[in-house]
């Protein structure tokens, strides 16, 4: 009996999970999937968590549970620090993981165009802590406006700037405007929440610029009908705690959300191979990296191309298809079956969609475009279908039905970041590195300090 | 037309909300309810949030929304700092609130018997950040055990100490044991999660000591059948990051949860009237404080007595009944109707219940006691019925049904406390005090630092 092949998958997003699920069917591989979070996240609905419509756990499932049916897959909670492709070792805070095949799928993060200090003022939306932070800021803005009598302060609190006119910026803008108009209006007595000013700043000449132009037009009109200001051809040149500058123009706003550029996870650079301007790893037609047919890069971290040589967008369907392709390819390689040569990866375009608000969405698939109520129903349907797990589907479906009928939002919680009553957040956490060294624990220093 | 009376309600828990709902029916009062959180919390189910069974928003609703039907009630998010009963002013971080009638219902917090430094190692369970912190610690403990190969470290990670054998300690212990045995066992490959050691430390001679003795016995047996160790007559003398001391005995455990003493909110002391040993305010038979018939203290902050002179327990039904009583009393006083004298407050004992796990609970009402499956069904029913809002009821019901059938827990998320990608948690938050003074804002210092 031959030795099983060791496969390491870095990242439990769409790409990594789809690769793992294919590898789970292999009899020739032992698989480790490592992620710094314990959960897989359904990114396309993350903005609804930020907008108090859904709970974090509605769109997240433990990676461990999702893969527990595959006896050859181990899940590890840990952070990868670098990858040594020569020695075939993944370095992480849980130790060294040697591999025969490697799948790198650790995604992208927000890019502040060289101004990382802006992040404090303008959080992005890539993970759950960021989503709940945005939720907290948006809800707190209305509360703070209610708490002051100063008109100018109220205006600053009730102004919301979205940097970026892609799907995330558009979805957030629509949701804030609808929340102010419908949900919050009846709850505040001093301020008129419906007067909230929501501004989308897009540097290009249209929003949703990866969609056909008529859909961009429709989306702009739909946002404007909700009272959102769409600023085209403007670029944010500075962000601080009180607002943004667009060149010479100042917009005072206490809530700014970043939905603009992304850059690849810096882990990609440690592969020692070519990366593009956004830090994405340039890959071969089988998604391996040049000179290392055993190392594959997929998802938002990869600069993959379609058969015409056009770069593939950072969309969930791309990541899923890449994951499945690579998982199958490794399975085949590990089995020693070289009877047929593997075809290059080819993306089957499923189209794309974005939602603006109630009964307002755009959808494009191949040559077909759709907008309005039908596109919105399509959006709802596709997102429910692709969501992981029956429980999550059911809960999201009920949440949406409930919100649609009542205009309420079920998750309007402002939760502070500290949990201790006695004030300052402690530096001591049991999962911080412990004073007791693993493997050589002594009882020294563990006596009661007062006895 | 006479001037309307100003009523301030401090605290949006069971007591404060029940008072507010009565006051909302008055035509003679303008009411302000102030709380430092934006949500009312259904405390009895908080342990289920800590145990990953429910989401925070399932058991919390915005105070603002719950009261938005009453046009005479304003909701304020703010923290009360002290109360001046002579000048009839509530001081808060949102300014001074003068009152004609005052309802103080700001509850209790955990008490570490003079060792506040233990809180960092042993969080209590009174609010949502604490519940999610406990959830994070418990789930991380299993992950950390899986990450190490050191047997002793694994044992420390898989040992859980609950300090206190009241309902919270019992509910948490049962839930951790069930989660380890049922939910997590199949998800971990290296460790055997079902070997987790759960220890309840109770200084008295029985757990659930406010229940009749046979029910305590039953609860102890039920916990033990789940593998929980119940330590009676033992007192925790020291807590640190690696475990607890019970006198001379050391228990190494990386997860310790505090479910022992409570003390009243220190706001009670600023009333300048008598408090008991736990800091609770001694009240008259109409729940007002001596010498101030316009100031009422209710809920966990009050040391109220029943008609036989026995102290009333810190239970939700007590708080609710006190709230309704005081709300009606103030309504009557404000209307100028002195035609009939108000009866003293009298608690109608509805009984009490606690749950240990699946089909294991205890229930006592008057002379009637119940245990096992029937008590458990009773517990489920009562908690669903009292939960606020149809949406929450429906979601909790479905969560429970789902967990019961599948043994899964829907909210197994480990969410870090920082939201910024770039590492350190920022000191800059838009809701922190702003450099711009309210009312006298200047544009100074708001120019772009780089232009």
- Contact of B435 with chain A, judged by CB distance below 8 Å, is answered with yes
- Contact of A210 with chain B, judged by CB distance below 8 Å, is answered with no
* A245 chain-B contacts, CB cut-off 8 A: 448, 451
In eight-state DSSP terms, residue A85 is: T
Check if the beta carbon of residue B3 is closer than 8 Å to that of residue B51: no
- B window 321-360, beta carbon within 8 A of A: none
- B window 152-171, beta carbon within 8 A of A: 152-153
**How far apart, in whole angstroms, are the C-alpha atoms of residue A314 and residue A295?**
20
CB spacing of A428 vs B241 below 8 angstroms: yes
**pLDDT higher at A449 or A34:** A34
* pLDDT the model gives residue A421: 52
In eight-state DSSP terms, residue B186 is: G
A310 CA: distance to closest CA in chain B (Å): 30
CB spacing of B450 vs A238 below 8 angstroms: yes
Give the mean model confidence (pLDDT) for residues A336-360. Answer: 87
**pLDDT higher at A3 or A88:** A88
- Contact of A278 with chain B, judged by CB distance below 8 Å, is answered with no
A363 CA: distance to closest CA in chain B (Å): 31
A199 CA: distance to closest CA in chain B (Å): 18
Give the mean model confidence (pLDDT) for residues B21-26. Answer: 97
**How far apart, in whole angstroms, are the C-alpha atoms of residue B201 and residue A333?**
56
**How far apart, in whole angstroms, are the C-alpha atoms of residue A211 and residue A364?**
7
- By Cβ distance, the residue of A77, A144, A439 closest to B147 is A77
For residue B155 the two structure tokens come to: 């044992």
- Contact of A446 with chain B, judged by CB distance below 8 Å, is answered with yes
In eight-state DSSP terms, residue B349 is: -
CB spacing of A187 vs B68 below 8 angstroms: yes
User: Is beta strand B249-252 parallel, antiparallel or unpaired with respect to B243-246?
Assistant: antiparallel
Asked whether residue B254 carries a pLDDT value surpassing 90, the answer given is: yes
Instruction: Name the average pLDDT for chain B.
Output: 89
Give the mean model confidence (pLDDT) for residues B204-217. Answer: 96
CB spacing of B430 vs A255 below 8 angstroms: yes
- By Cβ distance, the residue of A146, A417, A438 closest to B150 is A438
**How far apart, in whole angstroms, are the C-alpha atoms of residue B78 and residue B94?**
6
Confidence tier at B340 by pLDDT (50, 70, 90): low
> Which residue in the list A171, A229, A346, A444 is annotated as catalytic?
A171
Contact partners, residue A390, CB within 8 Å, separation at least 6: none
* pLDDT the model gives residue A2: 66
CB spacing of B238 vs A451 below 8 angstroms: yes
Confidence tier at A308 by pLDDT (50, 70, 90): confident
The predicted model scores a pTM of 0.88
* pLDDT the model gives residue A420: 63
**pLDDT higher at B431 or B128:** B128
* B414 chain-A contacts, CB cut-off 8 A: 37-39, 77
**How far apart, in whole angstroms, are the C-alpha atoms of residue B100 and residue B87?**
10
* A39 chain-B contacts, CB cut-off 8 A: 412-414
- Contact of A144 with chain B, judged by CB distance below 8 Å, is answered with yes
* pLDDT the model gives residue A426: 38
Q: How many CB atoms lie within 10 A of CB A114?
A: 7
What sign results for the dihedral spanned by CA atoms B418, B422, B425, B426? Answer: negative
CB spacing of B430 vs A148 below 8 angstroms: no
* A64 chain-B contacts, CB cut-off 8 A: 187-188
Q: Which of B97, B430, B437, B450 to mutate to test the interface with A (most CBs of A within 10 A)?
A: B430
- Contact of A394 with chain B, judged by CB distance below 8 Å, is answered with yes
* pLDDT the model gives residue A434: 38
* pLDDT the model gives residue B409: 80
- A window 11-50, beta carbon within 8 A of B: 37-39
Give the mean model confidence (pLDDT) for residues B225-236. Answer: 96
Confidence tier at B10 by pLDDT (50, 70, 90): very high
**How far apart, in whole angstroms, are the C-alpha atoms of residue A412 and residue A55?**
10
CB spacing of B62 vs A132 below 8 angstroms: no
Asked whether residue A186 carries a pLDDT value surpassing 50, the answer given is: yes
Nearest CA in chain A to B396: A395
* A251 chain-B contacts, CB cut-off 8 A: none
Q: Rounded to 5 degrees, what are φ and ψ at B104?
A: -105, 115
A38 CA: distance to closest CA in chain B (Å): 6
- Contact of B109 with chain A, judged by CB distance below 8 Å, is answered with yes
Asked whether residue B296 carries a pLDDT value surpassing 80, the answer given is: yes
CB spacing of B120 vs A76 below 8 angstroms: no
pLDDT digits over A93-140, tens only?
A: 999 999 999 999 999 988 898 899 999 999 999 999 999 999 999 999
Contact partners, residue B137, CB within 8 Å, separation at least 6: A429, A430, A431, B123, B255
Give the mean model confidence (pLDDT) for residues A370-391. Answer: 89
- Contact of B442 with chain A, judged by CB distance below 8 Å, is answered with no
Asked whether residue A441 carries a pLDDT value surpassing 50, the answer given is: no
- Contact of A424 with chain B, judged by CB distance below 8 Å, is answered with no
- Contact of A431 with chain B, judged by CB distance below 8 Å, is answered with yes
- Contact of A274 with chain B, judged by CB distance below 8 Å, is answered with no
- Contact of B56 with chain A, judged by CB distance below 8 Å, is answered with yes
Q: How many CB atoms lie within 10 A of CB B335?
A: 14
Contact partners, residue A171, CB within 8 Å, separation at least 6: A47, A354, A355, A356
**How far apart, in whole angstroms, are the C-alpha atoms of residue A214 and residue A143?**
38
Cα B120 versus chain centre, distance: 18
Q: Note if A447 is an active site residue.
A: no
pLDDT digits over A79-94, tens only?
A: 999 999 999 999 999 9
ipTM value, please give it. 0.84
- Contact of B76 with chain A, judged by CB distance below 8 Å, is answered with yes
CB spacing of B254 vs A116 below 8 angstroms: no
* pLDDT the model gives residue A3: 85
Asked whether residue B434 carries a pLDDT value surpassing 90, the answer given is: no
Query: Which value, to the nearest 10 degrees, does the dihedral of the CA atoms of residues A51, A56, A60, A61 take?
Result: -160
- Contact of A109 with chain B, judged by CB distance below 8 Å, is answered with yes
* B419 chain-A contacts, CB cut-off 8 A: 123, 127, 129-130, 132-133
**Span of A242-246, A307-311, B10-14 with lowest mean pLDDT:** A307-311
Check if the beta carbon of residue A135 is closer than 8 Å to that of residue A49: yes
Check if the beta carbon of residue B34 is closer than 8 Å to that of residue B80: yes
CB spacing of B415 vs A128 below 8 angstroms: yes
Confidence tier at B339 by pLDDT (50, 70, 90): low
pLDDT digits over A32-69, tens only?
A: 999 999 999 999 999 999 999 998 989 999 999 999 99
**How far apart, in whole angstroms, are the C-alpha atoms of residue A394 and residue A402?**
12
Contact partners, residue A125, CB within 8 Å, separation at least 6: A46, A47, A50, A131, A134, A168, A172, A257, A258, A259
In order of A385, A411, B92, B414, the CA distances from A395 in angstroms are 13, 13, 39, 20
Give the mean model confidence (pLDDT) for residues A410-428. Answer: 59
Domains of chain B: 5-110+262-334 (3.50.50.60), 120-260 (3.50.50.60)
3-state SS track over B205-245: CCCCCCCCHHHHHHHHHHHHHCCCEEEECCCCCEEECCEEE
- Contact of B146 with chain A, judged by CB distance below 8 Å, is answered with yes
Give the mean model confidence (pLDDT) for residues B221-229. Answer: 97
**pLDDT higher at A427 or B8:** B8
- A window 226-265, beta carbon within 8 A of B: 237-238, 240-243, 245, 250, 254-255
Give the mean model confidence (pLDDT) for residues B411-432. Answer: 55
**How far apart, in whole angstroms, are the C-alpha atoms of residue A300 and residue A308?**
19
Q: Token match 């037009």: residue?
A: A217
Contact partners, residue A86, CB within 8 Å, separation at least 6: none
CB spacing of A240 vs B449 below 8 angstroms: yes
* pLDDT the model gives residue B341: 67
Q: Which of A392, A407, A421, A429 to mutate to test the interface with B (most CBs of B within 10 A)?
A: A421
Give the mean model confidence (pLDDT) for residues A312-317. Answer: 92
| Burial A213-251, CB ≥16 within 10 A → b, else e | eebbbbbbebbeebbbebbeebebbbbbbbbbbbeeebb
In eight-state DSSP terms, residue A15 is: H
**How far apart, in whole angstroms, are the C-alpha atoms of residue A400 and residue A411?**
12
């Amino acid at each position: 009996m031959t030795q099983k092949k060791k496969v390491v998958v870095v990242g439990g997003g769409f790409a990594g999970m789809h690769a793992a699920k294919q590898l789970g069917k292999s009899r020739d591989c032992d698989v480790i999937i490592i992620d710094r979070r314990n959960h897989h996240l359904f990114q396309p609905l993350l903005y609804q968590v930020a907008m108090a419509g859904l709970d974090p756990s509605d769109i997240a499932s433990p990676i461990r549970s999702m893969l527990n049916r595959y006896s050859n897959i181990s899940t590890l909670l840990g952070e990868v620090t670098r990858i040594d492709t020569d020695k075939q070792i993944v370095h992480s805070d849980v130790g060294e993981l040697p591999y025969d095949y490697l799948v790198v799928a650790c995604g992208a993060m927000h890019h502040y165009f060289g101004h990382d200090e802006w992040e404090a003022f303008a959080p992005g939306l890539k993970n759950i802590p960021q989503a709940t932070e945005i939720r907290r800021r948006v809800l707190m803005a209305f509360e703070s406006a209610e708490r002051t009598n100063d008109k100018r302060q109220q205006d600053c609190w009730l102004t919301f700037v979205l940097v970026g006119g892609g799907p995330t910026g558009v979805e957030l803008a629509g949701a804030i405007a609808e929340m102010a108009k419908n949900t919050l209006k009846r709850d505040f007595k001093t301020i008129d929440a419906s007067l909230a000013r929501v501004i989308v700043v897009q540097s290009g000449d249209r929003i949703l610029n990866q969609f056909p132009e008529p859909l961009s037009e429709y989306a702009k009109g739909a946002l404007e009908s909700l009272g959102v200001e769409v600023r085209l051809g403007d670029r944010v040149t500075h962000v601080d705690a009180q607002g943004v500058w667009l060149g010479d123009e100042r917009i005072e706003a206490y809530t700014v959300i970043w939905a603009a550029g992304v850059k690849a996870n810096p882990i990609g650079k440690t592969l020692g191979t070519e990366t593009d301007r956004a830090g994405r790893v340039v890959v071969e037609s089988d998604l391996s990296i040049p000179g290392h047919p055993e190392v594959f890069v997929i998802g938002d971290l990869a600069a993959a191309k379609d058969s015409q040589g056009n770069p593939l967008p950072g969309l969930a369907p791309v990541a899923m298809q890449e994951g499945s392709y690579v998982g199958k390819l490794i399975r085949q390689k590990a089995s020693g079956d070289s009877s047929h040569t593997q075809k290059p990866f080819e993306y089957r375009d499923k189209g794309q969609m974005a939602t603006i608000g109630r009964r307002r969405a755009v959808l494009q698939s191949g040559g077909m475009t759709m907008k309005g109520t039908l596109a919105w129903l399509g959006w709802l349907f596709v997102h429910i279908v692709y969501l992981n797990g029956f429980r999550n589907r059911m809960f999201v479906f009920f949440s949406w039905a409930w919100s649609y009928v009542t205009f309420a939002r079920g998750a309007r919680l402002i939760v502070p970041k500290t949990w201790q009553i006695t004030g300052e957040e402690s530096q001591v956490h049991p999962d911080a590195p412990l004073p007791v060294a693993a493997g050589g624990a002594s009882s020294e220093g563990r006596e009661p300090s007062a006895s």
